[in-house]
Amino acid sequence: MTTAENISRVEPIKLKEEEPAAISPRRLIFRRFLRHRMAVMGTIILFGVILYVTIGSIIYTEADSNFNNTSIKLEGPSQEHPFGTDRVGRDVMIRTIYGGQISLLIGVSAMLVGVSIGTLVGAVSGFYGSILDSFLGRVTEAMLSIPNLLILLVAAKFLGGRIRDLDLFGRTFSGSVVVIILIVGFTSWMELSRIVRANVLSLKEREFVIAARSIGASNLRIIKSHILPNTLAPIIVAATLSIGAAIITEAYISYFGLGVQLPSASWGNILNDGRTQVRQAPWLWISPSVLIILTVLSINFVGDGLRDAFDPQSDKTV
């Protein structure tokens, strides 16, 4: 075989394999999320918890959750009452169902309040700078200088009993639920506002923002359609994680009796009920605690998965 022959036999190198089907960024993020095993498991567990509190409330009415029968008070788990009964003979399982609804409601609503404030403060102080920025910066610092739980307890005491009970969807919600949502939201925006501010600071110098400005886009429009969409990823991740944090915070405040009040149950105030019976009736604190841990853990896994999905280069070590 000659060299010439040899060369001619060399197959032409394919520069590219078949062009892969175009994937939208959203799909790509979804795929990366599915590859994060713990995040998928978290989603499933979270789904399970949501099913538990919804299907449970179809089977049992809210009246069942408040039905007390002192002849069976403080009974351990049994066939009839799988999670036992509390100090006035209410079924703990049904209370965790209705309490779970309130705890999840508080988690999501407080997240919405906190994320709105954090995004607004961060965007405004990053975008407008100068006096507004240093003022908001001081406010953020002030909020961070007092231990969160202390200020939460003071705020819970301040607002406690000032908001009347609400009647929604044929159910009565204690006004304290609104109080908790507000105070948890108002004390959990600081870290997000710092992240958003830093992102806005760098984004507003980018070419596409300058281009938008040069064609006469208003500040509001630049923030709304050019800057915020580009800082959406950290906002979504922080929002997810703050749902879990809000659920834990609610549990702390309610544990001290300053949180959700009757007639509403929450995972936190079931714990408060069991506070005096720590020794005799461990089921009173075990079942709501386990539900809190399961929920928050899976929310944290989902948040972690989202972070990796949005930004594969993100620092995974912390």
Smallest gap, in angstroms, from Cβ of residue 208 to other proteins? 30
Q: Which is nearer to other proteins, 98 or 267 (CB)?
A: 267
Q: What is the 3-state secondary structure (H, E, C) of 48-80?
A: HHHHHHHHHHHHCCHHHHHCCCHHHCCCCCCCC
Q: Which is nearer to other proteins, 174 or 298 (CB)?
A: 298
Smallest gap, in angstroms, from Cβ of residue 265 to other proteins? 17
Smallest gap, in angstroms, from Cβ of residue 186 to other proteins? 11
End-to-end CA distance of the chain: 61
Q: Which residues bind other proteins (CB under 8 A)?
A: 38, 138-139, 141-142, 144-147, 149-151, 153-155, 157-158, 160, 244, 248, 251-252, 255-256, 258, 271, 278-279, 282, 285, 289, 292-293, 296-297, 299-301, 315, 317-318
Give phi and psi for 146, each to the nearest 5. -115, 135
Q: Are strands 171-173 and 166-168 parallel, antiparallel or unpaired?
A: antiparallel
**DSSP assignment string, 83-146:** T-B-TTS-BHHHHHHHHHHHHHHHHHHHHHHHHHHHHHHHHHHHHH-HHHHHHHHHHHHHHHHS
Q: Which is nearer to other proteins, 88 or 248 (CB)?
A: 248
Buried b (16+ CB within 10 A) or exposed e, 54-89: eebbeebebebbbeeeeebebbeeeeebebbbbbeb
Q: How far apart are alpha carbons 61 and 97 in whole angstroms?
A: 10
> Tokens 């408040």 belong to which residue?
66
> Tokens 């960024």 belong to which residue?
25
Joined together, the tokens standing for residue 253 give: 């405040």
Smallest gap, in angstroms, from Cβ of residue 40 to other proteins? 15
Q: Which is nearer to other proteins, 84 or 209 (CB)?
A: 84
Q: Which is nearer to other proteins, 166 or 293 (CB)?
A: 293
Smallest gap, in angstroms, from Cβ of residue 51 to other proteins? 20
Smallest gap, in angstroms, from Cβ of residue 239 to other proteins? 17
Q: Which is nearer to other proteins, 228 or 251 (CB)?
A: 251
Q: Which residue type occupies 83?
A: F
The answer to whether 273 and 251 are in contact (CB under 8 A) is no
Smallest gap, in angstroms, from Cβ of residue 166 to other proteins? 22
Q: Which is nearer to other proteins, 144 or 232 (CB)?
A: 144
Element (H, E) at 168: strand 166-168
